[in-house]
A = this chain, B = another copy of it.
Amino acid sequence: MTLRGRKKGETVPQGVVGRLPVYFRYLTELELAGVERVSSAQLGEALDFTAAQIRSDLSYFGSFGQQGYGYNVAELLDQVKQILGIKQKYAMVLVGAGNLGKAIGSYEWFRAEGFEIEAIFDVDPHLIGNRHGGCIIRSVDELTSYLKEHPADIGIIATPKAAGQSVCDLLVEGGVDSIWNFSPTHLTVPDHVLVEDMHLTDSLLRLVFRLNERRAGDGETD
């Protein structure tokens, strides 16, 4: 078992990180469907990747398959969970209790997989004090003092664009060093802080660009 290129400090390529959750999702479906074994060719077929890519991706972390057999679904799923780090719990705080914040806060999957939203904050006095899920919505003024008492692994920013950076600064100051950002703005953070962006607008614009690219391509003669 060589763990290709995974010497100390070496990071896993972006593309691999992007595909791991896809594998996780599909393997979960397979296990639920009672499928016992699967080959890289079958995975590739179902997920629109090449078989070589899937084998190559997995080989960054070890050898989980068997020649002539493929992968045992349950076992591979377990390994992928291990790799992704979802065998432990994570404490999250959510800032922004608007429509999007509420949608995120009601997403059952998080709790089921050990991602616990432990507190919700907003600036709107009409929302503060309301319950949502198991949480009372607190004033964002309390964010710093809350974090002092209850450290969080992940901060979720679901505010409008204008508030994004300042909320981010509060979170970072409060010791949160992993940020899941739904606010449509580019966040500036210190080096040790991770930001994962979830920009609805960007995603839609990518779709529209490709839509137009396709339409333009259709009109061409050669």
Contact surface of A with B, Cβ cutoff 8 Å? 8-9, 11-12, 17-18, 20-22, 24-26, 29, 46-48, 83-86, 90, 98-100, 102-104, 106-107, 109-110, 115, 153-154, 178, 180, 184-186, 192, 194, 196, 198-214, 217, 220, 222
Contacts and interface: CB of A to CB of B under 8 A. Distances in A.
A199 B48 CA distance: 16
Nearest to A158: B103
Contacts of A214: 192, 194
Contacts of A199: 21, 25
B207 A180 contact: yes
B186 A48 contact: yes
Nearest to A212: B85
11 contacts: A17-B206, A17-B209, A17-B210, A25-B184, A84-B205, A84-B208, A85-B208, A100-B103, A154-B207, A178-B210, A198-B200
A98 to B, nearest CB: 8
B178 A194 contact: no
Nearest to A207: B196
Given A21-B205, A103-B100, A104-B200, A211 B184 contact: no
**Copies of the polypeptide in the assembly:** 2
B205 A20 contact: yes
A206 B103 contact: no
A22 B186 contact: yes
A201 B21 contact: yes
Contacts of A11: 213
A46 to B, nearest CB: 7
A31 B19 CA distance: 36
A59 to B, nearest CB: 17
Nearest to A180: B207
B154 A211 contact: yes
